[in-house]
Amino acid sequence: MARYLLRRFAFLLVSLALACVVLFVLLRMLPGDPANALTAVGATDEQIAAARHSIGSDKPLPEQFAHWIGQLAQGDLGTSFVSSLPVGPEITARLQVTIPLTLAAFALAILIAVPAGFLAAYRRGTWYGALLSGVSQLGIAIPVFWLGMILIAVFALNTGWLPAGGFPPDGWSQPGEAIRSLTLPVLTIALVMSASLIRYVRSATLDVLGSDYLRTARALGSSFAGAMWRHGLRNAAVPVISVLGIELASTLLGAVVVESVFALPGLGSMLATGIEQHDYPVIQGVLFVSTLAVLLIGFAADLVQRIIDPRLRGGLSGGIR
């Protein structure tokens, strides 16, 4: 177990290091100069040069990269070029919106997709089983921003039941208002995510329903529910867990779209503003935190798979499989 964890953790560190290199290089390849955000229109060459010197963009790229990595090693995500404020505390404040949004949508999507996917597989020959499969296919084709605008029109503009966007200025010190503000964004993400999850749950359930071990368990006297609980659940969960990890990571990364639709002050709006202003520390900080979260989610999903699947437990004492 310890050997596997060390190897998997080392792989995570290598992946994070490569991601930092790619992030830094690609960001510097984008058109535009971050010094332009600090100077007025019509600034002289001397003023632009002074702005570049103040933010360090006139230094060689290897020196800039070494400085950034040194800051990361100390837990410092840098200082914004535009606001001159530390990036780390700003990201922490924004995560109070992004993390509840992501986790609540993820949990709701699972609550919808697991029973719906199982029912679509177990009753695949009925009209409602076919309807569930068709609805999931339709849901995959719907863009998340379009669904968000429909929900705003129905529940905010027409009925006034929920706010169309925004977040309380005092944040979670007003829990009721905060929950109301996140209700429509959570529902938007959950409906889109559950559409794709239903397909995977249905496929995994169909594999279990047609398996020899389930038929054998039934022949030995187990009830259908007992056989599914004892033998089918873990086998069906293994492929679904991989998909859940991917969906959770993509939801976190895709929060920029939903937060823009609902005007939420999360990581997405922070990243969009940073890109607009060519604020490298902000962009690097948000993308670094997002990349780290994605890698940790993948690590956790891989570990859970090996814990619940006896066929993979050998990997806990050996190499990565």
Classify residue 44 by burial, with Cβ atoms within 10 Å: 0-12, 13-18, 19+. exposed
Residue 35 within a domain = yes
Residue 83 within a domain = no
Considering the domain architecture, whether residues 64 and 122 belong to the same structural domain is answered as no
pTM for this predicted structure = 0.81
Q: Which of 41, 73, 105 is at the close of a domain? A: 73
Considering the domain architecture, whether residues 69 and 128 belong to the same structural domain is answered as no
Considering the domain architecture, whether residues 56 and 115 belong to the same structural domain is answered as no
Beta bridge partners of 262: none
Considering the domain architecture, whether residues 122 and 8 belong to the same structural domain is answered as no
What integer pLDDT is reported at residue 277 of this predicted model? Answer: 81
Residue 81 within a domain = no
Domain count along the chain: 2
Considering the domain architecture, whether residues 13 and 162 belong to the same structural domain is answered as no
What integer pLDDT is reported at residue 321 of this predicted model? Answer: 40
Phi, then psi, of 84 in degrees rounded to 5:
60, 25
Residue 318 within a domain = no
Average pLDDT along the chain, 321 residues, taken 10 residues at a time: 79 90 85 70 75 79 88 88 88 91 91 88 80 78 85 89 87 88 92 86 82 78 77 74 81 78 87 84 90 88 76 50 40
Considering the domain architecture, whether residues 177 and 305 belong to the same structural domain is answered as yes
Residue 124 within a domain = yes
What integer pLDDT is reported at residue 198 of this predicted model? Answer: 87
Considering the domain architecture, whether residues 138 and 266 belong to the same structural domain is answered as yes
CATH number for the domain including 277? 1.10.3720.10
What are the Cα distances from residue 27, in Å, to 24, 69, 158, 285?
5, 15, 43, 12
Considering the domain architecture, whether residues 34 and 100 belong to the same structural domain is answered as no
Interatomic CA distance for residues 182 and 202, integer angstroms: 29
Chain segment 13-59, per-residue pLDDT in tens: 899 999 999 988 888 887 767 777 677 666 777 877 887 877 777 78
What integer pLDDT is reported at residue 311 of this predicted model? Answer: 64
Considering the domain architecture, whether residues 35 and 122 belong to the same structural domain is answered as no
**Cβ contacts of 56 within 8 Å, gap of 6 or more:** 64, 67
What integer pLDDT is reported at residue 310 of this predicted model? Answer: 61
CA atoms within a 13 Å half-sphere pointing along the CA-CB vector of 223: 3
- Supply 172's token pair: 């979670």
DSSP state of 314: G
Considering the domain architecture, whether residues 167 and 37 belong to the same structural domain is answered as no
Among all chains, which residue has been given the structure tokens 């209700």?
A: 183
Q: Which domain holds residue 171?
A: 92-311
What integer pLDDT is reported at residue 183 of this predicted model? Answer: 93
Considering the domain architecture, whether residues 168 and 66 belong to the same structural domain is answered as no
Considering the domain architecture, whether residues 30 and 114 belong to the same structural domain is answered as no
| One-letter amino acid for residue 271 of the chain | L
